[in-house]
Amino acid sequence: MIVLSWLHFIGARHCAWFFATILLFISNSVSAADIEPGGDVLMQADELSYDQETQTVTATGDVEVAYGDRIMTADKMTYNEATGVVVATGNVVLLEPSGDVIFAERAELADELRDGVVDTLQVLMADKSRLAGTEAQRRNGNVTTVYKGVFSPCEVCAEEGKTTPLWQIKAFRVIHNQEEQRIIYEDAFFELFGIPIAYVPFFSHPDPTIERQSGFLAPSFGNSSDLGTFLSVPYYWAISDHIDATIAPTYMTKEGVLFEVEYRQALESGSFEADVAAIWPDAEPVAGTPADENFRGSLFAHGDFQIDNEWSWGFESQLTSDDTFLRRFNISDETDLTSTAYVKAENGRNLFTAEGFYFQGLLSTDNPRQTPVIAPLMNYHHEFGGQVLGGTTALDVNAMILNRNDGADSRRLSVDLGWDAETITSTGEVYSFFANMRGDLYHTDNVILDNAQVSTPTTVARALPTVGAEWRFPLVRHGGTTRQLIEPIVQLIYAPNTGDRDEIPDEDSLSFEFDTSNLFDASRFAGLDRWEGGSRANVGFRASIFGEDGGAASLEFGQTYRLRENNTFDSASGLRDQESDYVGRISLNPSDSFSIDHRFRLDKDDFTFRRNEVDAIAIWGPLSGSMGYAFFDQSLSAALGEREELTASAAYRLTDYWTISGSTRRDIEGSQTLNNSMNIGYADECMTVGLGFSQSFTRDRDIEPENSIIFSIVLKHLGGTQFTSALGANSGS
C-alpha cells in the first residue's frame, strides 16, 4: 500500500500552455489521419527529431502535445507512427477534458492519449479529490484501473512529515468508470487518521462529478428511552432526470418500523413534493393518549403549477393521524397544521385568488369539532387606470364560506372601493389623502351573543366609510461624518362609530398586535370581521442617523388619540381608551458585527411595559452570539395570559475547523427551562463531525421530557452516519 505523500507534488509544477511557438504538421510521416480521423496534433518542445526508418517522432525538453481536448507535458516524448503509441517519461502531466489532472513518471498511451498504461499514477480530480496508485491501466478512454490505490478528498497538512489525510480508502484495485461516474474498490480498507477501522471486500461510491445517483445513504442508529434501540438505512432512488425519492425505514425495538418516503417531481408546469410517514406500533397501547392508535402517520406535500402566463394553481397538505405523532417520532415540532389549495390569476397589478383551508390543532386544548373549514375564500384586487382627483382608485372584493361541526358558521361578501393620492410641496412636506367605502353582507348562524345566547340564522349588512389625511415633514441634516433624519407624522381619520354587530363572529381578527408597524394603518385589524371606527388621530415621529462607515440607528415612537372610546378593542389591547398606549421601536446597527432591535408598548398612565421585545446579535472575533427577550401581557390572548421568555445562543470558533456552540430557551413566567443544547463540531473540505447534547422538557400525553446525545459524521462523497443516544426521561416537569 502507498500513502498520499505525492500530494505535495501536485500544484508544485505550473504549466503555461503555449502552443504558438512551434506548430508541427507531419504530412508524410505523422499525419492527422494516422492518429485519429479529424484529430490534429499540436506539439512544442526544445528539440524535435524524426526517424524516418522507425517512423518515430522524438521530442525532448519541456514537451507539450495536444490531442483534441487532451493536453500532455513531459520531459521526453516519442510517437510511433506505425503503432500510434505515445511514450512519455519524466514529470508526465496529462490534463483531461473533465478537468482531472494526471501525474506520472512514465506513461504509454494510444488512441489520442485515451488508453494505455501509467506508472506511479497520481490524479488530482476536478473537485480536488486525490487518487493514487503504483500502476494504472486506461481503456476506452473512460475506465481507469489503479492497482494498490488510495483515494481521499482531503487535503494533506502542509507541515513536514504529516502526509496522511484525515480519511482515505486503500484498495488492492480501484476502478474509476467515468462513463458511469463511479469509483469501485476491491479489497478495500477504510482509514481514519491513518488507522484502519473497517474492511470491505467490495465497495463503491459516485465520483466527484456526479450530482445524483441511486444508492444507499449513510445509516443512523441509536437508543431512546421512548422508542428503544433504532436503526435507519435510507435509500435514494433517482427515478429519472426529473423524479427522485428517498425511502427511509427505521426499525425501533419498542415501536416497530417507521416508514418514511420523500418523493419529488419536476414538471414542465411546476413541481411537486410529498413526505409520507407511517407506523403500525408494536408497543402496548396507552389508554387515553394517541399511543392507543393502531395506525399513526402523516402527509406533508406541496405543489405549484403554472397554467398559462396569468393563471396558476397549487396546494399545501399538512395532515397527521393524531396530535403527538409528529413530535414523538421527531418528524416536526409543529402544533398547528394548515392544508390549503389555491388558484391564482395575475395581470399587472390586478390579482384574483380562490383558496380553501383545512386546519388541524395538535394541542390538548384544541377541539376538532370547533375547528373551522374555509372553502372558498376568494379575493379580487383591481386597480383602475388613470387618475381621479389626482389619485388612484382600486376595488377589493372578498367572499368567504366558513363552517364548523360545532360553533358559529358564517358567509361573507365584502366590497371595498378605495382612493388615495399624495403630493409633495416645495418646502418638502408630504401630504397624503385617502378615502374608501366598504360594504359587507353576512349570513351567520350559531353565534354566541353577549348575553350567552346562541343566535339563529341571521343576515347582517353594514356600510363602513373612512376618510383620512396624513402630513409628514422629513427633515435631513448633514453634520460631520453623519446624516440625520427626523420625520414628524400626523394622521387624521374619520369613520363612524357603527359597524360591529354581535351577530358577526370574529374569525379573522383574533390575532392582534398594536405596534409601530400598524400605528398609521387605517385599520389595525388583520381581517375584515372587525372594523376600526371612530374619529382619531395617529401621531408619531421617526428619527434616524447614518454614518459614513455604514453604521445606523433609528427610533420610531407614537400614540393614537380618539374622540371617544372604541369598545371594539379589548381592554388589554392598548387601543380602547381615548388615549392609546405608546408604541415604539429602537434599532442600533453600529457595524456589521453588532445589532440590537427593541420593540415595546408602554402603558399610557404609568409607562410600564405592556409588551417588550429585545433581539441582539453580536460578533466579536471568533465569538458570535444572539439573545432574545420577550414579554407579553394579555393583549395578544387572554387565554394564554401573561408570558415572559428568554432565548440565547452562542458559538465560538476554536480553530479554523473546530466550533463549539450552545443555546437555551426559558419560560421566565413559568420558571421553567423549555430546552437546552450544546454542540461541538469539526468541519473541513472532506469531513464534518459533530457531537451534541440536548434537553427537552416538553410533556404532552405520550411525549415525555428527555435528554439525548447525538453524534454525527459526514464524509465527502460517502454521505454520513448519525448516532443518537437518549439518556432517558428527565425528572423535571
Domains of the chain, by residue range, sit at 5-211, 267-407, 421-641, 642-699+703-733
Low-confidence winner among 171-175, 304-308, 617-621, 637-641 (lowest mean pLDDT): 637-641
Query: In the prediction, which pLDDT does 158 show?
Result: 62
Long-range contacts formed by 431-434: CB under 8 A, 24+ apart: 431/469, 431/470, 431/471, 432/469, 432/470, 432/472, 433/391, 433/468, 433/469, 433/470, 434/466, 434/467, 434/468, 434/469, 434/470, 434/522
Output phi, psi for 160, to 5 deg. Answer: -65, 135
Distance CA 165, CA 720 (A): 18
| Separation between Cα atoms, residue 474 and residue 546, nearest integer Å | 15
C-alpha cell, 382: 383591481
DSSP 581: P
Whole-prediction pTM value? Answer: 0.77
* Rounded CA separation 733/729 (Å): 10
Q: Is 291 exposed, middle or buried (0-12, 13-18, 19+ CB in 10 A)?
A: buried
Phi, psi for residue 621 in degrees, rounded to 5: 60, -125
pLDDT over 70 at 88, yes or no:
yes
Averaged confidence pLDDT in the chain = 85
Least confident piece of the model among 24-28, 122-126, 207-211, 250-254: 24-28
Strands 719-728 and 220-224, how do they pair?
Answer: parallel
Q: Secondary structure of 664-702 in the HEC alphabet?
A: EEEECCCCEEEEEEEEEEEECCCEEEEEEEEEECCCECC
What is the structure's pLDDT at 539?
98
Cα(220)–Cα(249) distance, integer angstroms? 11
Rounded distance, CA 272 to CA 339, Å? Answer: 15
Q: Where are the alpha helices (DSSP H) in 275-332?
A: 325-328
Other beta carbons less than 10 A from residue 368's beta carbon: 12
Q: Which CATH superfamily is domain 5-211 in?
A: Lipopolysaccharide (LPS) transport protein A like domain (2.60.450.10)
pLDDT at position 641 is: 67
Is 84 strand, coil or helix? coil
Q: Residue 244's closest CA among 206, 220, 271?
A: 271
Q: What pLDDT score was predicted for residue 253?
A: 87
Q: How far apart, in Å, do the first and last CA atoms of the chain sit?
A: 57
pLDDT digits (tens, 9 = 90+) for 206-228: 877 777 778 777 677 777 777 87
Confidence of residue 162 (pLDDT cuts 50, 70, 90): low
For residue 636, the model assigns a pLDDT of: 54
* Arithmetic mean of pLDDT, 487-499: 92
